[in-house]
Amino acid sequence: MLDQKLYFVLRMETLKKITQEPLVHFIFLGFLIFVVNGFFNSGQYINEDAKIVIDDNDINRLITQYKQVWNETPDQSTIQKLIEQYIESEIIYREALAMNLDHNDEIIKRRLKQKYEFLVKDLISSSEPSEEDLKAYYEDHINDFLTDKLYTFSQYYFSPDKRQTPLEDAKTFISKQIKTNPNHSVIPPKIDQIHLKQTFAAVTEHLIRQEFGIDFLSQLETQSSHSWIGPISSGFGIHILYFDSINESQKIEFEQVREKVKLAYEDDLTSSYNSNVLNKVKDSYEIKYDLKKWEKLID
């Protein structure tokens, strides 16, 4: 009996010490606030994020999407399944947002940026530009509406894989041609084999860049018609060229490129609108840099 009384006294002393701990007071107070808040707000608080409303527009959109994929109208059972899938998708989407899974996701950022740009473009496209606006834009950007510059030439290739001195051989070849064949009246035979054609007739700069490379093209831009040029280099080796003709770019009449002008006009308007909005919104952001390795970038 005495042991039971002693045990009871010890238990009470221990409990008294525990209840005097500040951490216990904090936990109890937090629990009390939680209980009281739950009691008074039970059945009254509605989380708007947990509400999913399906209206006629949603159903019509689901049906339209189904038709686009399957080329047929869904029956009632299929529509119900589409609604269930939409609800599941919406729930998962909202839960993912609640878990902050969209944070720092580059794919999501790019997609939202793309949707925003599409929205702006649709708004701009919905207002038809006047004929005067398009013609003024055409005149201000006339260099964007020219025919391609066309080159006609023959090329003679000197392979660095087959020759010990391809550059010197090319110089010897062109010296001889300038003296004996200045107008290219006699077509010399191919020098070394290459998969490219020997003669290119009325080809664009784009095609030359594709075939020979941008460095090759840059060496042609200042050349004149009816002349031998070279040696010039490409990724394949050394070339000697005879330029037969260069047809300069010509102005295309407005009526022939009206649709192209309209698209360019709308693209520029969209770009200008986005830039203006972005510059205004930027003022409301504070940009801070915390750099070590790259701090020189912002000097």
What tens digit of pLDDT does each residue of 196-221 get?
888 999 899 889 888 888 888 887 77
**So what's the pLDDT on residue 108?**
80
Count of alpha carbons within 13 angstroms of residue 14, beta-carbon side: 6
**So what's the pLDDT on residue 8?**
45
The single-letter code of the amino acid at 295 is E
**172 domain-assigned:** yes
**275 domain-assigned:** no
**187 domain-assigned:** yes
Provide the domain limits for residue 155: 147-247
> Distance between CA 24 and CA 21 in Å, rounded?
6
Task: Please list, in sequence order, all residues whose beta carbon lies within 8 angstroms of the beta carbon of residue 87, skipping any fewer than 6 positions away.
Answer: 52, 54
> Distance between CA 31 and CA 37 in Å, rounded?
10
**So what's the pLDDT on residue 285?**
67
**So what's the pLDDT on residue 13?**
56
**186 domain-assigned:** yes
**So what's the pLDDT on residue 36?**
47
> Distance between CA 149 and CA 250 in Å, rounded?
8
**Residue 169: which CATH number?**
3.10.50.40
**184 domain-assigned:** yes
Task: Tell which residue, 111, 119, 80, has the closest CA to residue 93.
Answer: 111
**pTM of the complete model:** 0.49
CA dihedral 205, 206, 212, 215 (to 10 degrees): 70
Residues of the chain with pLDDT under 50: 1-11, 15, 18, 23-26, 35-36, 39-40, 42-46
The domain tally of the chain equals 2
